[in-house]
Every structure is written in C-alpha cells, then in structure tokens.
Amino acid sequence: MIAKSTMAQLLAAFLLMKADGCNAEVRIVNDPGGRIGDYVARYERLRATGDAIVIDGYCASACTIVLGIIPPDKICVTSRAELLFHAAYNPAPHGRRRTNREATDRLYSLYPIEVQRWINQRGGLTRRGTLLSGASLAAMYPRCSGDEGQRAITAHLPRVTRQFVEH
C-alpha cells in the first residue's frame, strides 16, 4: 500500500508531466474533496501549467475550489459533471463533524462571484450541501466538446494511483 504523502507526490508529478511539451488536459472524475489547503496548492500548480480542466463527474467539497483558482476559459464541463458545495468542517468525536466557520468563509471567498450568487440563492454553504449540475452548471461553464481521444488524467488521487500503478 502506498502512503498518502507518496500518493500526493505521484499525483503532483503526473499532473505536471507533459509527454510532448504541449498543454495537457486534466479530467476530474469522482473526487470527494479533502483538505482545502491541499486543493489550493494543487490547483495553483495546475493554473501555472496552463492545462485545460474537464469536470467529468462528481467534484465535491474542496474539489470545487477549481472554479476559483483555474481561469474560467480553462474549464469545461461534461453532462456528467456534478459539483457539491458544503460548509467546511473539522472531525469531532464519535465520527461527527463540527462546522468550521473560518474555513467555510475562506472556501466561499475562493469561488467566483457567479458561483457565490448561486450558493447564496440556495441558503449559503451549509452542512448538508448543495449540488450544482445540468443546465445551471452549463450556464456558468461551457460544455466540453470533442474530448474523445485526447490525453487526459484523472484528478482524483486514488484513481490516478491505481491507473498508473497497475500498468
């Protein structure tokens, strides 16, 4: 089993790797999120590469920070894209979660104004969360076109690890 820190290093290397020196495409699929700081650092590195981001499935929690760090003209969504926004939390005893207001405010501040408006119209960042998908998402971000056959890697850490370790 590969340690989490090693998996993060592998992911960073694969995300920044260019096979032929051209910009690549990064595909986000089934990413449940994680620590806000980890995602900020990941997306800042990706922004520096100029790679296009394809949201092609579930992107929840800290994963949604992609919308605030990557330029909008570098993001597209497929019909399978679903973004889940919720309040940030800290683990509490007995498997419970305690809302972290400071981290929630930081998370909210990272989103573009149109995403903030959409969140506000649905009651803000709450513990339960709000799902952005379909026509509402497509109104904010363009649909991806012609992505069959293009180079892509999955941004979700465990999937990337399995994809590259098994080959």
The greatest distance separating any two alpha carbons of the chain, rounded to the nearest whole angstrom, comes to 49
pLDDT the model gives residue 39: 96
Nearest-angstrom CA–CA distance, 111 and 59: 14
pLDDT at 6: 45
Domain extents in the chain: 24-165
> In this predicted structure, what is the pLDDT of residue 90?
86
pLDDT at residue number 163: 24
Q: Give the pLDDT of residue 157.
A: 35
State both tokens at 73. Answer: 């003209």
In the prediction, which pLDDT does 104 show? Answer: 95
DSSP letters, 41-60, are HHHHHHHHHT-EEEE-SEEE
The pLDDT value recorded for residue 92 is: 84
Residue 53 has a CB neighbour count (10 Å cut-off) of 25
Q: What pLDDT, on a 0 to 100 scale, did the predictor assign at position 162?
A: 22
Q: Which of 167, 95, 93, 82 is nearest to 131 (CA)?
A: 82
The residues of the chain scoring below 70 in pLDDT are 1-23, 146-167
* 155: CB partners within 8 A, 6+ apart: 11, 15, 26, 27, 28, 29, 31, 42, 53, 63
pLDDT at residue 25, as a whole number: 87
Amino acid identity for residue 63 in this structure: C
Q: Which CATH number fits domain 24-165: 3.30.530, 1.10.10, 3.90.226, 3.30.750?
A: 3.90.226
Q: Is 130 helix (H, G, I), strand (E, B) or coil?
A: strand
> For position 133, what pLDDT does the model report?
95
